[in-house]
Chains A and B, each alone.
Chain A
Amino acid sequence: MAATPIIVAENVSKRFGENQVLTRVSLPVMERDVVCVVGPSGSGKTTLLRCLALLEVPSEGRVVMQGLPISTPERSKQVRSAARAVRSDIGMVFQHFNLWPHMSVLENLIEAPVRVKKLPKSEAVAIAEKLLAKVDLLDKRNAYPGRLSGGQQQRVAIARALAMSPKVLLFDEATSALDPELRREVLLVMRQLAQEGMTMLVVTHEMGFARQVGTRTVFMDKGEIVEEAPGAAFFEKPKTERAQRFLQQFEE
């Protein structure tokens, strides 16, 4: 295992006006880690993820990628240029997929590789087709997102993120907007990625996934990390009372 983490939240705090959403959260993500972040809604999980995705700027603390700060409250020139350099190394999958509806599935996948990485179109298409085959949607390459089921859209969104070959993939409640029978197909893809060694940070309510696939479980409540344990250990022996109470809800 690599000694330096891929991406780290260092003492990240976030306030929206009076509302303290994150309080000094520190979380390193190592290579091949599958970190599952669980906790009640409103606990700050998504905000933490959005800070790592550079969609929110921390009020205090910083985000560091492979040794270089990429997000700080001051957003100095140096930090911003470091952020630009690693931007496409951080992939994100959203709760509501956020596919671009005016583009076909294939166009969704090649947009960033062609425009950002300046790949030749033929090469981008070849990569896209390989990824679509991987998520079992090659036959939908020319379909528009509006014609796909939620599960299919989310698999396309995962393929779109993978097309930039990110070093870390962030999942923001990727299955929460899906009907139960559609969740499985998305979770299967995520599980496969984890087995292939993808570094992942997964905000989720899927306790089964966290237990079976996660290498580390992080329990958050009220904007703080309350408890952290490797893999399934958190589920077998939660140490804090808050975590015990949280897990009890899933037992019925």
Chain B
Amino acid sequence: MFKYQFRWDIVSGDNLDFLMSGLQMTLIVSAITLVLAMIAGLVIALLDMSRFPPARWVGVTFGEIIRNTPILVQLLWVYYVLPIVFGVRIESLTALIVGLSLYQGAFISEVYRSGIQSVPRGHSEAAQVLGLSPLQNFMRIVLPQAIRMTLPPLASNFVQLIKFSSLGAVISVSEITRRGMELSSTTFRPLEIFTFIAVVYFVICWPLAMGIRVWEAKLRNR
């Protein structure tokens, strides 16, 4: 094939520590973003389902714009454009977390909405007739059923987030992909480094994705 001297020892020692600190950043960003995205998603979903047309209009427009533009462009936009608009410099890490949270939140809002709409209307009518207040009805009857439906897709979103956090590299957030770029520019060993990084992502994401599949099957059979 081609003559190449593999030097896997590049990813060891200090270099490995360097990459692993990047992995730590990747996981921290993903976890924080998941929490924020779940909140953003709830806000967007509530706006979408609001009884007030202006609120609905805001929620739908925002959701459609976010869902139909690339995440990379959004990140660049948040990082470069928001500072111009508001006149403040945004930390690259903040920009990544904000950008990713909004992006994923827009998708999560759809997950919530379909979860809530999957609960048959009769269930809340029964609660209504028995005298439960609208809040009790939502908290006790609709939400527990909706959550069951939304947990697996939420977990899939987490897998997505871990992968999308690699885009932080383009706005110089020192997560694992960025660290890999830096390391390969000093060692000239992109093959070993990016292969290693791909394996790291796979080793984290694949078991998660498999676990979710098993979980979904279990929920279905109940």
**Contact assessment for A96 and B122 in the assembled complex, using a CB-CB cutoff below 8 Å:** yes
**Contact assessment for B141 and A88 in the assembled complex, using a CB-CB cutoff below 8 Å:** no
Report Cα–Cα, A99/B120, bound state, in Å: 11
Interface residue stretch chosen among B95-103, B125-133, B198-206? B125-133
**Contact assessment for A115 and B136 in the assembled complex, using a CB-CB cutoff below 8 Å:** yes
**Contact assessment for B125 and A55 in the assembled complex, using a CB-CB cutoff below 8 Å:** yes
B140 at the interface (CB under 8 A from A): yes
What residues on B are CB-neighbors of A157 within 8 Å? 126
Q: Shortest beta-carbon distance, B27 to chain A, in Å?
A: 32
**Chain A: number of interface residues, binned into ranges:** 20 to 34
Interface of A with B (CB < 8 Å)? Answer: 53-55, 87-88, 90-92, 94, 96, 98-102, 111-112, 115-117, 146, 157, 160-161, 164
Q: Shortest beta-carbon distance, A185 to chain B, in Å?
A: 20
> 17 extra interchain contacts, Cβ-Cβ under 8 A, other than A88-B130, A98-B126?
A54-B128, A54-B129, A88-B131, A92-B126, A94-B122, A94-B125, A96-B120, A100-B141, A101-B145, A102-B145, A102-B148, A111-B127, A112-B127, A112-B130, A115-B132, A117-B131, A146-B222
Number of interface residues of B (CB under 8 A): 18
Main secondary structure of the interface of B (DSSP, over half): helix
Q: Which 4 residue pairs of A and B lie closest in terms of their CB atoms, listed nearest first?
A: A112-B130, A98-B126, A98-B122, A116-B131
Q: Which of B122, B125, B131, B144 contacts A112 (CB 8 A)?
A: B131
What residues on B are CB-neighbors of A100 within 8 Å? 123, 126-127, 141, 145
What residues on A are CB-neighbors of B127 within 8 Å? 100, 111-112
**Contact assessment for A164 and B126 in the assembled complex, using a CB-CB cutoff below 8 Å:** no
